[in-house]
Structure 1
Amino acid sequence: MTSPARILGAILGGGASSRFGSDKALALHEGRPLIGHVAAALAAQTQALVICGRAWGGYADLADQPAPRLGPIGGICAAMQYGAANGFSHVLIAPCDLLGIPADTAACLLPGPAVAEGQWLLGLWPTGLCQALTAAILSEGAIPVRRWIQLSGAVSVAVGGLRNVNRPGDLPI
């Protein structure tokens, strides 16, 4: 019998928010910052939570790995390294601006590697792939997340109800 997955939740919280015009992670929706909605969704289906690229909410904040300023792939690598070093089997990663993450997302993406169809920053990554991701970054530089999806063999899974917020007008009323 296999042991149940031990999943770390990780929020990609960095970024310039250039299309949004201000710090979108802190933009309010229903009286709570966007990052708070994502934190609640991930915390409900993981054993611990970290934030990549910023300090927020008293959670551990992780700097890009293996080097600074790598964009989303650096946050993914940091979360996977942290997860591997702390006994997690998987990392469920989501961007700070994604609303509507279903309560069964981790279960839908298991065993991973897998990403949400159309929202490739929402993914479940086995921590056993940590060394491969680090090696890819060290070899190729700041690779796009889509390149990592290809290299890792991640599958795309339909996950309904997701809403990415890139501009103030994308916030539901």
Structure 2
Amino acid sequence: MTVGAVADLAGAVLCGGASRRMGQDKAFVEWDGVPMARRMADTLAAAGCRPVLAIGGDGLRLAALGLQVVPDDRPGEGPLAGVLTALDAAGGRGVVVVACDMPQLRPGAVASVAAALVGDAQVALAVAPRREPLCAAWAPSAGPVLAAAFAAGVRALHAVLETLRVAEVSISSQDVRNVNAPSDLAH
């Protein structure tokens, strides 16, 4: 896939997790006064992704934040299912997918990941220092591979990466720092 620019990609914020450790829906937990789902959508938009979609989660509350909501096609089935929903919703375009709980992700880091989705790469992943499939640009050609893995019972994105053509992009570990519990909110 030759993309050339983040403007060629849709953006998607995965909002469907259970948020068990946080004790409340992470998508609506505020970081610097802004709900994390909104903050992540703004980051994707600032990087140039269009449209930006909120995948899964509480659709009414997400819509009240001004987000374009796409119900998860496979609710409760994990991030691989969310990426599949995002690819389907992107209508044949590539999509930058991020988790809703990385509020320190910068637009420049998103643009770097998106810029790596060139040639025959099916996914461009952030690496900080380990692979982060929930900060990645996914080519439409990854969809059938992900769908086949899902149909075979695979739910973990990292388990599918070995079957894809992957480009890796080193970014700061702060960009992909997850906020999983109330103690992670200190910054």
The alignment's TM-score, normalised by the length of structure 1, stands at 0.86
CA–CA distance in 1 between the matches of 2:36 and 2:50?
A: 21
Q: How many residues align?
A: 167
- 2:35 matched to 1:25? no
Q: CA deviation at 1:4?
A: 4.0
Q: CA deviation at 1:164?
A: 1.1
CA RMSD across the alignment: 2.0
Letter in 2 for 1:53: G
Letter in 2 for 1:149: L
- 2:130 matched to 1:128? no
CA–CA distance in 2 between the matches of 1:32 and 1:51?
A: 15
Q: CA deviation at 1:123?
A: 0.7
Identity %: 29
Distance change in 2, residues 1:30/1:4 (3 Å): same
CA–CA distance in 2 between the matches of 1:39 and 1:101?
A: 11
Of 20-29 and 6-15, deviating more is 20-29
Letter in 2 for 1:116: A
After TM superposition, the structure 1 = structure 2 runs for residues 45-84 of structure 1, keeping only pairs within 5 Å, are 45=47, 46-54=49-57, 55=59, 56=62, 57-65=65-73, 67-83=74-90
SS at match of 1:132: helix
Letter in 1 for 2:135: L
Distance change in 2, residues 1:105/1:61 (3 Å): same
1:15 corresponds in structure 2 to 17
**8 Å CA contact retained: 2:15, 2:55:** yes
2:45 corresponds in structure 1 to 43
SS at match of 1:18: coil
CA–CA distance in 2 between the matches of 1:74 and 1:58?
A: 24
Listed as ranges, the gaps of 5+ residues in structure 2 are none
Of 68-77 and 115-124, deviating more is 115-124
What do residues 33-68 of structure 1 show as CA deviations (whole Å, max 9, x unaligned)?
111211110111201111111221343323334x44
Listed as ranges, the gaps of 5+ residues in structure 1 are none
CA–CA distance in 2 between the matches of 1:53 and 1:122?
A: 17
**8 Å CA contact retained: 1:25, 1:97:** yes
**8 Å CA contact retained: 2:16, 2:72:** no
**8 Å CA contact retained: 1:64, 1:70:** no
- 2:146 matched to 1:146? no
CA–CA distance in 1 between the matches of 2:101 and 2:125?
A: 16
The alignment's TM-score, normalised by the length of structure 2, stands at 0.80
